[in-house]
Amino acid sequence: MEIKQMRYFLALAQENNFGRAAERLHITQPPLTRQIHTLEEELGTPLFIRTNKGVELTEAGQALLAEVPNILALSKRAEQQAQLAGSGYIGRLDVGIFTSGVLNIIPRLLADFHALRPEVKIGLYSMSKTEQIAALHERRITIGFNRLVPYDEDIAVDWVQREPYLVALYEEHPLCKKKVLTLRDLDNEPMILYPNAPVAGLIDVIADAFRAEKAALRIEQKVEDVVTCIALVASRFGICVTTASASNLRLPGVVYRPLKSAHLKDIELSCLYRREDNSPILRAFLALIKTSRVGQ
C-alpha cells in the first residue's frame, strides 16, 4: 500500500464521490479509479460500495479509514523531519570547551546558534586539548575550541578570535603604577603559568618569548586552568601573563595591564573539527563563526 494510494483513498472516503475526489486531488477521474481498484486488489477486499450517488465505505473501508489519517500524518512528519535534519535545523551539536574559552566569545556563539536553531540540542564538554582531539577522532564531539592546536591530518583548525595578552597583577604590586608592561618589566618576577599540560601550549609560548626578549622567567607555580591562576594572583602568590578574555573574571584584588611584546602580540582562539565532517549542523555553526569574525 503506497502513500499515494492512501491519499487517494482518504479523498474518496471523505468526498464519497469519484468526481469530487478527483477534483480535490487535481487529477482526472480514471487515474483515481485505477488506484482504488489496485488498492482493493492488493488488500483482497472491497473498500467502497458503488451507489447511484457515489460511493459508501464497506466495513473494511471504515477500518482502513480509522488508520490512514494517522499514517499520512506520520509520513508528513517524517518528511518534514528529514528536511529539517538535512538543513541542520534538528539534531545535536556536541562541543568541547576549555576553561578560559568560556570567558568571552564561545558562550555568545552558542547563544546565537541556539537562537537561530532552537531545535538543535547543544552538548558541552569540558576537555583538555588532547581530550578534544581524541573525542573528535572518536566522534564523541562535533567541534572543539582551544588554542595552539597541534597539527593532525584528520583535524581541520580555523581561527575564531584573536585577542591580546595581558599581565594580571595583584593590587599594590609596584608594576600596577605602569600603564603598559613589557617582558623586561617581568624579569625575575614570581610567575604563575597555565595550563600545566603534557602538550605544548601557552606556557611554552610565554617561555620562548621570555628567552627571545632576554628576560628571566621565574616560575612560582604551574596550574591547570586560568581560574586557578587568577585566584592565586589575587592571593599574592605571584603574577601572570594571560589573555584578554581572562579579565572577564574580575576577581577582587586583581589588576590587569596591557603587555607590549614583539613575541606575544596576540593569540588565536581556534575551532577544530573533523575534515571529512559535512554535517549540516556543523556547516551552519562554522558559517556563524565566520560571520562573527567580521570586524575583528
Same domain? 113 vs 256: yes
Answer yes or no: are the C-beta atoms of 101 and 146 closer than 8 Å.
yes
Same domain? 8 vs 143: no
Cα distance between residue 163 and residue 269, in whole Å: 8
Same domain? 79 vs 139: no
Same domain? 278 vs 177: yes
> What's the CATH number where 9 sits?
1.10.10.10
Grid cell for residue 155: 583535524
Is 259 within a domain?
A: yes
Cβ count near 121 (within 10 Å): 12
Is 71 within a domain?
A: yes
> What's the CATH number where 257 sits?
3.40.190.290
Same domain? 157 vs 285: yes
pLDDT tens, position by position, 185-203: 999 999 999 988 778 789 9
pLDDT tens, position by position, 172-183: 999 999 999 999
- Residues of the chain short of pLDDT 50, as ranges, are none
Strand partners, 280: none
Is 136 within a domain?
A: yes
Same domain? 135 vs 210: yes
Listed residues 35, 53, 86: the one ending a domain:
86
- Number of structural domains found in the chain: 2
Q: Residue 190 belongs to what H/E stretch? A: strand 190-193
Is 215 within a domain?
A: yes
Sign of CA dihedral 5, 10, 13, 14: negative
Q: Angle between the 18-25 and 29-43 helix axes, to the nearest 10 degrees?
A: 110
What pLDDT sits at residue 264? Answer: 95
Same domain? 191 vs 275: yes
Can the peptide bond before residue 195 be classed as cis, meaning omega within 30 degrees of 0?
Answer: yes
Same domain? 141 vs 39: no
Is 95 within a domain?
A: no
What pLDDT sits at residue 296? Answer: 56
Reference 61, options 91, 82, 32, 40; nearest CA is 40
Domain that includes residue 22, residue range = 3-86
Q: How wide is the angle at C-alpha 230 spanned by C-alphas 229 and 232, nearest 5°?
A: 70
